[in-house]
Chains A and B, each alone.
Chain A
């Protein structure tokens, strides 16, 4: 019997959290989707290691994570996605239109890097879904 008020409070809190997740506007402080080439990558590749850093397909969302940020922390220049990036240099590529983008990329067997940019999630289910996916990604 004592559990009933507690369950009610928890349910209300859960509903409030879901409502916030669905209705609060997405305004992340940082919209960068970062990929880094760690130091020593070139040496590892020379030693025969298969080092995969950048996936062949990258999914971004307008207004949420719509900037592809590639950083080379290694000691040699690296072709990283669409650009040749010098040691210690980064390449910041913003997207403003939802679409599929294809870039020549020698780092992949297919020779292509695809960046799929989704539209800004609408308030409600789409925003909630986006937040849930981010939370799950952060937890995993």
Chain B
């Protein structure tokens, strides 16, 4: 009886990391995780871009625009460093950058812009209504603001963490460094 009880406890201990729905991430965590909203946009590689294309990889979903001077360069630079720090495991991480400025961000512009960070990063653009629907499905805000030289877009700056099964696991607020991303990506890759 006692032996059976001990074996059960041991099995429970072994299984506990698997039972935990989501590990403690540095990012904000959605609990329980739901399927990340699917979308169909134009990829910066010229092909249709659906989130499901990257099933089996961890997706870091970013919203921004190539003329962004403040938030996007820092976020993308951080993601480059995090991906590099992961080494070989970084190949299982895909950055998807969805524009909030379809007027200026066509596929070619996004490809050029992202190649300066990491050629594996992929951009997504499309019709304004389609992009607005994607933003709404993730709760992303984007507002066009007039500037001296033209306009900028004030946009949500968090990065969405989508696991290999396509579930939206977390949201990393702006300001976290590469170390925090590496921490979370390693945890999510181990699931």
Contact = CB atoms under 8 A, between A and B. Distances in A.
Most central of B32, B139, B141, B173 by chain A CB within 10 Å: B139
Contacts, number: 56
Given A92-B29, A94-B26, A82 B34 contact: no
Interface residues of A, number: 21
Given A101-B175, A104-B156, A85 B30 contact: yes
Given A91-B171, A93-B173, A103-B173, A84 B28 contact: no
Contacts of B28: 68, 82-83, 91-94
Contacts of A103: 156, 158, 173
Q: Which of A86, A88, A104 has the most CB atoms of chain B within a 10 A radius of its CB?
A: A104
Contact of A106 (B138, B141, B171, B173): B141
A93 B155 CA distance: 20
B141 A104 contact: yes
B103 interface: no
B31 interface: yes
B30 A83 contact: yes
Contacts of A106: 141
Contacts of A90: 30-31
Interface string A92-131: 1110100101011010000100000000000000000000
A91 B168 CA distance: 11
How many B residues touch the partner, as a band?
20 to 34
Contact of B32 (A79, A89, A101): A89
B138 A84 contact: yes
A82 B171 CA distance: 9
Given A84-B138, A84-B139, A96 B26 contact: yes
Contacts of B137: 84
Contact of B139 (A79, A88, A93, A99): A79
A60 to B, nearest CB: 13
A83 B139 contact: yes
A84 to B, nearest CB: 3
A89 B34 contact: yes
B30 A89 contact: yes
A91 B175 contact: no
Contacts of A94: 24, 26, 28
Nearest to B32: A89
B31 A89 contact: yes
B31 A101 contact: no
Contacts of B24: 94
Interface string B104-137: 0000000000000000000000000000000001
Nearest to B34: A86
Given A82-B158, A90-B30, 16 more contacts: A82-B171, A83-B30, A84-B137, A89-B34, A90-B31, A91-B28, A91-B171, A93-B29, A93-B173, A94-B26, A96-B26, A99-B175, A103-B156, A104-B156, A106-B141, A111-B141
Question: Closest 4 CB pairs between A and B?
Answer: A84-B139, A93-B28, A104-B141, A104-B156
